[in-house]
Amino acid sequence: MVRVEKQFSIFLVNKPGVLAQVTGALAAAKINMIALTLMDASEHGVLRLVCEDSDKTREVLRQIHDHFTETDVLVMELINKPGAFASAVGKLAAAHINVNYAYCTGGARGGKTTAVFKVADLKKALRVLQENRTTKKDDRMTVKTPPRRR
């Protein structure tokens, strides 16, 4: 399944307890995080996260933090096996869609993982990733890799 979701980028001071404060407030509001990544610079970090309820997430962030932005990203469920992520980005590359950045959850052994893509052309990427899904039961969450160009 591929869908468009809101991603929140929260700019955090790089000191102990700040990450715990943000994630604790989301937990207290019973907001489930789908995926997250944290990158750091010398004085600050950027927490990017996708949650199940973007309206509620926005409300909580406005109450506790004043430095965040929102952007639309693609969220895609993949099977947790070698090549699943590579197959998805290969499909985007074949359609000449740039991936600005991506991250994914670890996934459970033998289960599913969730990939998040920030792409240059959201509508085209959504169409490309939806159109070549396999239908075999075992590969339901894998994207077919396009043939190689010579």
Per-residue model confidence as pLDDT tens digits over 89-129 = 999 999 999 999 999 887 767 688 899 999 999 999 999 99
150 located within any domain: no
Same domain for 78 and 67, yes or no, is no
Q: Are 64 and 13 in a shared domain?
A: yes
Predicted confidence band at 135 (pLDDT cuts at 50, 70, 90)? very low
- Co-location of 133 and 77 in the same domain: yes
Query: Which of the four pLDDT bands, split at 50, 70 and 90, describes residue 137?
Result: very low
Instruction: For residue 2, tell me if it sits in a domain.
Output: no
Asked whether residue 97 is domain-assigned, the answer is yes
Please give the radius of gyration of the chain, using alpha carbons only, rounded to the nearest integer. 17
Each residue of 2-50: pLDDT tens digit? Answer: 999 999 999 998 888 999 999 999 999 999 999 999 998 777 889 999 9
> What residue numbers bound the domain in which 101 lies?
73-139
Q: Could you tell me the pLDDT band of residue 141, with boundaries at 50, 70 and 90? A: very low
Could you give the number of structural domains in the chain?
Answer: 2
Q: Are residues 67 and 77 in the same domain?
A: no
Last residue within a domain, chosen from 71, 93, 117: 71
Name the burial class of residue 123, with classes exposed (0-12), middle (13-18) and buried (19+) by CB atoms within 10 angstroms of its CB: exposed
Say whether 25 sits in a helix, a strand or coil. Answer: helix
**Residue where a domain stops, chosen among 71, 103, 121:** 71
Are 59 and 77 found together in one domain? no
* pLDDT the model gives residue 15: 85
| In contact, 48 and 37? CB cutoff 8 Å | yes
pLDDT of 128 reads: 94
pTM: 0.81
- Range picked from 72-76, 79-83, 105-109 for highest mean pLDDT: 72-76
